[in-house]
């Protein structure tokens, strides 16, 4: 039994080793100066190693003119970038970064237009008939995007074998476009009618070309106009959905930014102008973690959430203990003091990290888009932020309604003097409340780091909006903050395309002012003796 097992392991090892060696030997043939010989090598590689990732990479780099080999060792390299006569390269076979060298040390694997066309065709065929559905889907999208009359045969062949509905739909659209362009009069008319069921930009471009073509018959132009109007109507509906999604994502960010402010403002009656800097601290915490743990990029955001909460929360408690507790009952002085603190924190960050914006890397599981159809795509990072904001909101509700600390916070919010008379340490509640509010702002900074670059002025862009959300929703009311954040986010995203970013902000501010004239205490006014005072 042991002997048989060792034999199987040895045979598998031998197979993969020989496969790798054969691939290397076949690639060596690309060093020839004969373009005809290179063509044969390309076709041989596609035939023998179509499922090998290296084949795809090799042919893609060769087509783009980025495949070289070193003159001294013959090692194949990929050109990453060039600065003057210096080439920055990466080894093709082991993917290692190589030292910068002079371009005279390399020789390019040359191609011409004919060979590039053959490589492109082979790449399309190789990927379109791959066992991997993702490869086939990506290949079908590339064919649709760069559609050519010569692709007709390849598409027809793929359609007969394709079983995946998503890939088949794209191929059918590409096939219909080609028929609409190059088919007989009757075929064109039928194809143009069918194009009304597709929503891609390529379909719209094709229909516009047919409409503007002087050789198109009246019937064909009429049918093309009908299909185009149908597509544009459907796309307009999806455009509304997309705007609503972006408004919801903006509302989620505003909720995360304002929820901490709502708590501190509601309990302590403190106008904290340094709240934006708590968000900035959370964002820089995420950046710092990625610099300290570069191997854990995929988990950095998950690690950053509790760390940013603790760091921002501790900074908030220190500010409350050292400054704010001496200024209770003096709102103007509190506003000026926290504004000064915000400037100090900004300058401190500039000193430590530099005044330049820093980029926080997005984990692969948050990257990309969820493509619902050709007219609607939702980015994963915004989807995760929406879900995350909901979870944070539910978490805060549970803390305030189901814990002893939450009960005390609500008691202090409704009647500070009575709570103090009942033995509640209001100074401790103030410190904890300010710490929790600052911690939530830090979490908001983690979310913002996935939407924009991290810089010293990050929080300033959201502090005014946060106050508007709190005032609009009702001071200290979490449900009011939720509805206020989503409402303002949606209004902003629907007005912005028409009025522009600056005018949209002005119009929202005017709306808030007019609203406060009618309802001075917001959508959901706070209850209790302190609120009435």
Q: How far is it, in rounded angstroms, from Cα 386 to Cα 322?
A: 35
Q: Which helix (H) or strand (E) holds 240?
A: helix 218-268
Q: How far is it, in rounded angstroms, from Cα 347 to Cα 440?
A: 22
**DSSP conformational letter for 89:** E
As given in the structure block, the two tokens for residue 35 are 């373009």
pLDDT, residue 530, reads 45
Parse the chain into domains and list their residue ranges: 25-115, 131-216, 237-369+376-528
pLDDT, residue 9, reads 44
As given in the structure block, the two tokens for residue 504 are 């949209």
Q: How far is it, in rounded angstroms, from Cα 334 to Cα 494?
A: 36
Please state, in angstroms and as integers, the Cα–Cα distance from residue 274 to each residue in 221, 261, 316, following that order: 61, 10, 9
Max Cα distance, the chain (Å): 94
Q: What are phi and psi of 450, to 5 degrees?
A: -90, -5
pLDDT, residue 8, reads 47
pTM to 2 decimal places:
0.74
As given in the structure block, the two tokens for residue 48 are 């023998």
Average pLDDT per block of 10 residues along the chain, 533 residues long: 46 43 73 78 76 76 82 81 81 80 82 80 75 80 79 81 83 86 85 85 86 83 88 89 90 87 73 86 91 84 91 90 82 84 90 86 83 83 90 88 81 75 80 86 88 84 81 77 87 81 77 75 59 47
Q: Are 495 and 453 in contact (CB under 8 A)?
A: no
**DSSP conformational letter for 410:** H
As given in the structure block, the two tokens for residue 287 are 């950046």
Would you say the C-alpha torsion 381, 383, 389, 395 has a positive or negative sign? negative
pLDDT, residue 309, reads 92
pLDDT, residue 284, reads 92
Q: How far is it, in rounded angstroms, from Cα 183 to Cα 453?
A: 50
Q: How far is it, in rounded angstroms, from Cα 229 to Cα 417?
A: 66
Q: How far is it, in rounded angstroms, from Cα 319 to Cα 439?
A: 13
As given in the structure block, the two tokens for residue 17 are 């080793």
pLDDT, residue 285, reads 92
**Mapping DSSP to helix (H, G, I), strand (E, B) and coil, where does residue 92 land?**
coil
Rounded to 10 deg, the angle between the 297-322 and 426-448 helix axes is 150
Q: Are 100 and 82 in contact (CB under 8 A)?
A: no
Q: Which fold has domain 237-369+376-528?
A: ABC transporter involved in vitamin B12 uptake, BtuC (1.10.3470)
pLDDT, residue 522, reads 67
159 closest CA partner among 146, 143, 148: 143
């Amino acid at each position: 039994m042991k002997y048989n097992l060792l034999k199987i392991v040895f045979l598998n090892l031998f197979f993969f080793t020989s496969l790798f060696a054969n691939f290397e030997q076949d690639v060596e043939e690309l060093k020839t100066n004969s373009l005809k010989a290179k063509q044969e090598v390309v076709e041989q590689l596609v035939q023998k190693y179509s499922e090998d990732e290296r084949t795809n990479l090799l042919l893609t780099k060769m087509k783009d003119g980025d495949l070289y080999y070193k003159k001294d060792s013959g090692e194949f390299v990929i050109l990453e970038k060039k600065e003057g006569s210096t080439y920055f390269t990466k080894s093709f076979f082991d993917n290692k970064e190589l030292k910068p060298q002079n371009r005279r040390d390399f020789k390019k694997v040359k191609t011409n237009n004919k060979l590039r066309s053959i490589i492109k065709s082979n790449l399309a065929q190789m990927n379109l008939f791959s066992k991997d559905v993702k490869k086939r889907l990506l290949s079908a999208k590339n064919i649709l995007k760069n559609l050519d009359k010569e692709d007709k045969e390849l598409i027809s062949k793929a359609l007969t074998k394709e079983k995946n509905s998503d890939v088949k739909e794209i191929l059918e659209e590409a096939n219909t476009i080609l028929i609409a362009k190059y088919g007989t009069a009757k075929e064109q008319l039928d194809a143009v009618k069918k194009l009304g069921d597709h929503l891609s930009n390529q379909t719209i471009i094709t229909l516009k070309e047919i409409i503007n073509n002087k050789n198109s018959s009246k019937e064909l132009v009429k049918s093309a106009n009908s299909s185009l109007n149908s597509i544009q109507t459907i796309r307009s509906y999806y455009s509304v959905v997309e705007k609503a999604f972006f408004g919801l994502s903006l509302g989620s960010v505003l909720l995360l930014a304002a929820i901490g402010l709502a708590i501190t403002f509601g309990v302590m009656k403190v106008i904290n102008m340094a709240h934006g800097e708590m968000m900035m601290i959370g964002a820089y915490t995420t950046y710092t973690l990625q610099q300290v743990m570069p191997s854990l990029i995929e988990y950095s955001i998950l690690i950053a959430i509790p760390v940013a909460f603790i760091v921002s929360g501790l900074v908030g408690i220190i500010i409350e203990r050292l400054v704010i507790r001496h200024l209770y009952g003096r709102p103007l002085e509190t506003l000026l003091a926290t504004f000064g603190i915000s400037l100090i924190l900004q300058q401190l960050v500039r000193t430590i990290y530099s005044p330049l914006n820093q980029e926080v890397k997005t984990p692969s599981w948050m990257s990309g888009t969820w493509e619902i159809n050709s007219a609607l795509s939702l980015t994963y990072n915004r989807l995760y932020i929406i879900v995350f904001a909901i979870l944070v909101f539910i978490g805060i509700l549970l803390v305030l309604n189901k814990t002893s600390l939450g009960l005390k916070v609500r008691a202090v919010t409704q009647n500070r003097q009575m709570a103090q008379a009942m033995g509640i340490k209001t100074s401790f509640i103030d410190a904890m409340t300010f710490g929790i509010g600052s911690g939530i702002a830090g979490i908001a900074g983690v979310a913002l780091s996935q939407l924009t670059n991290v810089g010293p002025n990050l929080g300033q862009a959201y502090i005014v909006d946060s106050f508007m959300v709190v005032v609009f929703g009702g001071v200290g009311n979490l449900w009011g903050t939720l509805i206020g954040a989503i409402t303002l986010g949606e209004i902003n995203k629907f007005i912005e395309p028409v009025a522009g970013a600056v005018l949209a902000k002005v119009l929202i501010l005017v709306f808030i002012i007019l609203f406060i004239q009618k309802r001075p205490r917001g959508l959901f006014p706070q209850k209790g003796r302190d609120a009435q005072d």
